[in-house]
Amino acid sequence: MSKEHWDNSFSDEDYVYGERENVFIHDMSGIIPEHSKVGCFAEGEGRNAVYLAKLGHDVTSYDQSTIGLEKTKTLAGQNNVNVEAVEIDLTNEKVKTDQFDAAIMVFGHVPKQDQPFLMENMMDSVKSGGYVMFEVYSDDQLNYRTGGPPALDMLYNPADILGWIKNYKCIHFYYGEANRMEGKRHIGQGHVIQAVIKK
């Protein structure tokens, strides 16, 4: 989806996905070593980036939405932390490789043709021995209608994800239902794919 789409999507005064971190990121964040350098991919309005910064990490938030990144900076200020906000199209532009101790992505949905580049971009940004964790909606989410894109082309297939992560140590993989109450855009039971890998 375009920068204009996401700028419009985040233009509401409130935080459309809420201000609290994603449950999966909350539950898995303990695996990230203290004072790590962490990249947050397709991070939108910054809720997960701010949470990780509050844990003491050095956090960079990537998104293509100017408005989303402005809201990230505002939320960081309200929580007395600093988050570096970088505007980038992660499906076309590579971020610096081997720079982070960990990288995360929560519901970073792009067309299927762009998904391999996005995933490689995120995994390449992490140093050897670092961690990558993400949660996305699966193709089955179309049957739930509780959030996420209403198009199969924007959702993820578990076989694709297993192929992308096969060269790394898989610490956690889940494909199934999860309840997400995140602002006004993720409301109720959905169908997700989760992964935590170590490079």
In a domain, 180, yes or no: no
How far does Cα 141 stand from its chain's mean position? 17
Q: What is the pLDDT of residue 4?
A: 79
Interval 15-67: pLDDT, tens = 999 999 999 999 999 999 999 999 999 999 999 999 999 999 999 999 999 99
Q: Which tens digit of pLDDT belongs to each residue from 169-192?
A: 999 999 999 999 999 999 999 999
Asked if the structure places residue 159 within a domain, the reply is yes
Using alpha carbons, list the distances in angstroms from residue 46 to 43, 49, 98, 121: 6, 5, 22, 19
Determine the structural domain holding residue 123 and report its residue range: 3-166
Q: Looking at the 3D structure of the chain, how many domains does it have?
A: 1
In a domain, 25, yes or no: yes
Task: Say if 193 falls within a structural domain.
Answer: no
